[in-house]
């Protein structure tokens, strides 16, 4: 699914990726009967593999022209921090994650 990109679209893409990831997680969980932590570990490994592939596409003579330059140490630290921040149990509802129910 392609969309116009702008800074405001970040929330849409965040939710789109989360839903796709959750669907894949549930498919593997139910199809394999593996424990949830095993499937979550596999998910983390898949994300690491995606990072490596995207990083590789941005190096060398035929690198992607978008201008991004991978910095594995900083990039992986950022990914780890994002995982740690979003994986913590929330004490209050997160309005950014709630589905829109209508218009005011």
How far apart are alpha carbons 6 and 78 in whole angstroms?
22
User: Distance of CA 58 to CAs 23, 51, 76, Å?
Assistant: 29, 11, 16
**What is the pTM for the complete model shown?**
0.74
Q: How far is CA 4 from the centre of its chain?
A: 19
Structure tokens at 28: 């593997």
Tell me the Cα Rg of the chain: 17
Q: pLDDT tens for residues 45-95?
A: 999 999 999 999 999 999 999 999 999 999 999 999 999 999 987 777 777
Give the pLDDT band (50/70/90) at residue 1.
very low
Task: Look up residue 92 and give its DSSP letter.
Answer: S
What is the C-alpha end-to-end distance of the chain, expressed in Å?
28
């Amino acid at each position: 699914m392609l969309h116009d990109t702008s800074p405001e679209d970040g929330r849409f893409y965040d939710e789109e990726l989360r839903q796709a990831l959750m669907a894949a997680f549930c498919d593997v969980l139910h199809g394999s009967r593996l424990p949830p932590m095993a499937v979550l570990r596999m998910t983390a490994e898949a994300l690491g593999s995606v990072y490596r592939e995207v990083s590789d596409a941005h190096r060398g003579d035929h690198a992607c022209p978008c201008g991004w330059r991978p910095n594995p140490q900083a990039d992986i630290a950022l990914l780890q921090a994002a995982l740690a921040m979003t994986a913590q149990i929330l004490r209050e509802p997160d309005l950014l994650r709630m589905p829109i129910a209508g218009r005011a």
